Structure 1
Amino acid sequence: MMTIVGAPLRRVLARVGAQEDLNFLLTNRLPRRLATRFMGWFSRIEQPLVRDVSIATWRLFCDVDLSDARDAGFPSLHAAFIRALRPGARPIAADPTILTSPSDAILGAHGRIEAGRLFQIKGLSYRLADLLGDDADLARAHEGGSYATLRLTAGMYHRFHAPHDLQVESVRHIWGDTWNVNPIALKRVEGLFCRNERAVLRLRLATGGHAVSLVPVAAILVAGLRLGFLPEGTALRRTNGRRLPCSAHLRKGDEMGWFEHGSTIVVLTPPGFALCPTLREGARLRMGEPLMYLPGAPEPHSR
């Protein structure tokens, strides 16, 4: 009996493995930078037929919901990617003891930062200092704190917002590759987030003065990152990794910036923060929903 049952199971597993191999091959073994530059050019074409076919193809392969977009029509695929929301489309958890999700996302690896390491997927960890561009001081500031990995799929709303009332203290751009950040790649590429292009945003919360960091990570077809709170004309890629001091004050839910396709945000906190206990890996979050409790927040059952 075990042989009869085992053979079909092995075939299913082999089929799944073959599909993963094909996915990894198609999204990571092609010239990633070239493909990303091409998509950046192609998605901005405002010719109606190109736009309509592009958006239709995107919706065919991705779970796209444009019903909550601010605008009813889009001049290009790029405009649809970076669409703004209509007012009130994302209610913001106003409780000052709650750190909200900065974006629509699927919750990935999360937990406690221990011995300077965190997980990109179960069984595969990486050094926090590597993610932060060898910033050992900042890594130590987050030791013992919490982290949450938020993955934005291609069809999701791509802008991200302030998770609390805060001041942006600095921004640092770090050059890197454009590996796909889907679960298949996360299982196969060690330290993937530390390899890709990214930015480190150092934030100071208005409540308690806690220092929190957001690390938006680029991916294939999405090496573009725009930060609306920086002075107009700031070109992150021309800063050569310098830390840019900042004094922007944002209210919880204010827009911070956007990806130009889909990607990942790693949320890093100091000790004392706790992930909302109802959240599990794979949970879908909408921007503004509770993500973590600040230190000293009442127990969830007492709310």
Structure 2
Amino acid sequence: MSMKSARWIDRLTQQEDLNFLLTNRVPRLAATRFMGWYSLIERPWLTRFSVAVWRVFTDLDLSEAETPPQGYRSLRDVFTRRLKPGRRPIDPAPATIVSPCDAIVGAFGPVTRGMALQAKGMDYRIAELFGDATRAAPYLNGSYVTLRLTSAMYHRFHAPADLTLRRVTHLAGDTWNVNPIALKRVERLFCRNVRAALECTLPDGTPIALVPVAAILVASLRLHALDLTLRPDHPGPHRFDVEHAHARGEEMGWFEQGSTIIVFLPPGVALIDGLAAGQRVRMGEALARLPSADDE
């Protein structure tokens, strides 16, 4: 692709009105179902063609992947690729909560009056996000951080600490795009989209929650603890009580394309200093810090 063509595509995709129109004012669920079907087609030549088109619009890099570039049979295989061992070292400090995924940091900060920030001037009730005020209660006066996975990123997510997954609540909804352009325009977007609330506890009983949120072209979530894939049309059940332990950094599951994970922390667990919106983080990097014995 020529530099002139690349600049034209870059200018085109940066036009907010056009971006919003192309990624939201379409039959979102139908487009998502189509992508789910398309991504499962096992034709290596079609996969190579699709990856070539994908690279025109994103910074897709398969050099860290366990599978060589010519080894993918379907687009889903590319979306859910594993990395070569050792590519995501885990922060060695035992008191740190690490990022569960590769991501771009979005809104973050304290949960105030039961509200979290989606984008500047746009907030939402975490009780609505969790689907239950009781399940959101441990994070009132706590903190949160929004982690956005782009379509080109590594799509598997991992345990941010030694923890036990206690409950999964799958919530039906829409598939709005979750990029910054949509977040500025669609109120309560995270609460409208398909999502799953993963309620966990650390070894000392401290609660922590991950809320993966789906988006257009991606609404399927695979969890090892359930051994099933949660899709928008999943017939039920939608609440699962589980007792599944994960070691810090262990894979918990994956999206079948890019999306968002919101991490919720209770009072006393502080986000690290220097966190900034727009910052890129990798799975395993420090995100928050547990209180030390001196703090108690």
Answer whether TM exceeds 0.5 for this pair: yes
Give the equivalent residue in structure 1 for 2:77: 79
Secondary structure of the corresponding residue to residue 188 of structure 1 = coil
**Residues 43-91 of structure 1, C-alpha deviation per residue, up to 9 Å, x if partnerless?**
2212232111101111121111111111112111110011011111100
Contact 2:101 2:158 in 1 (8 A): yes
Cα distance in structure 2, aligned partners of 1:188 and 1:297: 44
* Distance verdict in 2 for CA 1:274–1:39, change over 3 Å: same
Give the equivalent residue in structure 1 for 2:173: 176
Aligned residues: 281
1:147 is aligned with what amino acid?
Y
Check if 1:143 corresponds to 2:140.
yes
Check if 1:126 corresponds to 2:87.
no
Greater Rg by CA: 1
Check if 1:274 corresponds to 2:270.
yes
In the alignment, which of 235, 238, 253 is matched to residue 235 of structure 2? 238
- Where do 1:37-116 residues align within 5 Å? 37-72=33-68, 73-116=71-114
In the alignment, which of 112, 115, 118 is matched to residue 117 of structure 1? 115
Which stretches of structure 1, 4 residues or more, deviate above 6 A after TM superposition?
A: 15-18
* Distance verdict in 2 for CA 1:227–1:56, change over 3 Å: same
- Per the normalisation by structure 2, the TM-score is 0.91
2:128 is aligned with what amino acid?
D
How far has the Cα of 1:239 moved from its partner? Answer: 2.1
**Residues 213-243 of structure 1, C-alpha deviation per residue, up to 9 Å, x if partnerless?**
100000000011100122x3475623243x2
**Residues 161-182 of structure 1, C-alpha deviation per residue, up to 9 Å, x if partnerless?**
0000010011110000000000
| Percent identity for Structure 1 against Structure 2 | 56
Secondary structure of the corresponding residue to residue 86 of structure 2 = coil
* Distance verdict in 2 for CA 1:184–1:246, change over 3 Å: same
Cα distance in structure 2, aligned partners of 1:264 and 1:193: 9
Check if 1:185 corresponds to 2:186.
no
Secondary structure of the corresponding residue to residue 113 of structure 2 = coil
Contact 1:197 1:217 in 2 (8 A): yes
- Where do 1:210-221 residues align within 5 Å? 210-221=206-217
- Where do 1:245-260 residues align within 5 Å? 245-260=241-256
**Gaps spanning 5+ residues in structure 1: where?**
1-14
Give the equivalent residue in structure 2 for 1:9: none
Contact 1:97 1:297 in 2 (8 A): no
How far has the Cα of 1:195 moved from its partner? Answer: 0.2
Secondary structure of the corresponding residue to residue 118 of structure 1 = strand
Cα distance in structure 2, aligned partners of 1:287 and 1:144: 26
Contact 2:221 2:229 in 1 (8 A): no
Give the equivalent residue in structure 1 for 2:162: 165
Cα distance in structure 2, aligned partners of 1:190 and 1:142: 21
Cα distance in structure 2, aligned partners of 1:180 and 1:234: 21
In the alignment, which of 148, 152, 157 is matched to residue 149 of structure 2? 152
- Per the normalisation by structure 1, the TM-score is 0.89
* Distance verdict in 2 for CA 1:161–1:297, change over 3 Å: farther
Cα distance in structure 2, aligned partners of 1:131 and 1:234: 20
How far has the Cα of 1:94 moved from its partner? Answer: 3.0
1:201 is aligned with what amino acid?
L
